[in-house]
Chain A
Amino acid sequence: MRKRNRLEVIKDILEVIKNKSGRIKPTHILYKSNLSYQMMEEYLGELIQKGFIQEKKTERSKTYIITKKGINYLQQYKMISEFTTSFGLK
């Protein structure tokens, strides 16, 4: 099986959140994105920093919400993927 590249993993995480009505718990991301807990934490940190998702904390749980920027990434993903593949940026 081909190893996913970073941009592909980001797309998969955002898709998982979007498919859950734009709001999801970290355990669901872990289950659906096929990543280790440590890798998932790293990616989520990166996505928050880039403004693709937001973290909402309550007393009992933590959820992640996809932002407009994150949805825009998903819509433009084909363009990003074709460009990075053509120019060897993966």
Chain B
Amino acid sequence: MILQAENLTHLYGSRKALDGLSFSVSKGEIFGLLGPNGGGKSTLFRILATMMSPTSGSAQVAGFDVATHAAEVRRRIGVVFQTQSLDRKLTVEENLIAQCHLFGMSGARLKARVEECLDKMRLTDRRADVVDTLSGGLKRRVEIAKALLHEPEVLLMDEPSTGLDPGVRRELSDHMQELRAKGGVTILLTTHILEEADRCDRLLLIHEGRRVAEGTPAELKAKVGGDVVVMESEAPDGLAEKVKARFALEPHVNGNHMRVEIANGHRFITEVIEAFPGAIQSIALHKPTLEDVFLDETGASIS
């Protein structure tokens, strides 16, 4: 296990941001922490990145405790923040060199690492550009290049896709897969974006600081039975009662939407529309998503 958390608990005053969270990540995994904003992901990220100590419990990276051996942990983790952490007035290369210096690297090793990371993130032709002039996607790539300079064993990424358009997200995700494949880097990322979570090897779903579920995206989705059918109605509660009585299902109501999980959803759709004419404004079927898993376990939505 390259990363381990045991019974992590964190309090802000009397508010519990993390509540006895335990999990572990194996070497070379892309591990996602999925949950809504404000659910404890950022707190967990800050603790793992050695930015603050947990109220109780512990976490280790490569065997070093994040609270008591911060310097050892910092040498082994690369941190990509959700917000920018570059010097906007410096060029890409100047930022990378400064980062090397902060890690005590100089001379031939520094040169080699800067070249390699520029190349890995396809930034070589942008090296002399001042960061302020770069697009959001490019800046994120510089952030990642910067985090990789000291050859970390674990890359911690806080909401890496947030604020990026879908094309750039896809590209970023490819970069992550490549890093893991070529360099054996373990990646831990936090996210509330389903597509990003879908591309992780394993996920920990968290809600209100507690574990909701853990597993591969496929395992998690398999927990939801069959298909998901979502109906829009002017009286969703009344509809839910009727559907429950007639089809022996457990509908969930959220706003004016009612949602059921059922095998062979396509057949159910025709049946339910015929059974309650006029009561359903619209109806849709989809394969289970991580959102459905989260809804089932918590009753709350991720995004």
Is the pairing of A and B real? no
Interface of A toward B, CB cutoff 8 Å? none
Interface of B toward A, CB cutoff 8 Å? none
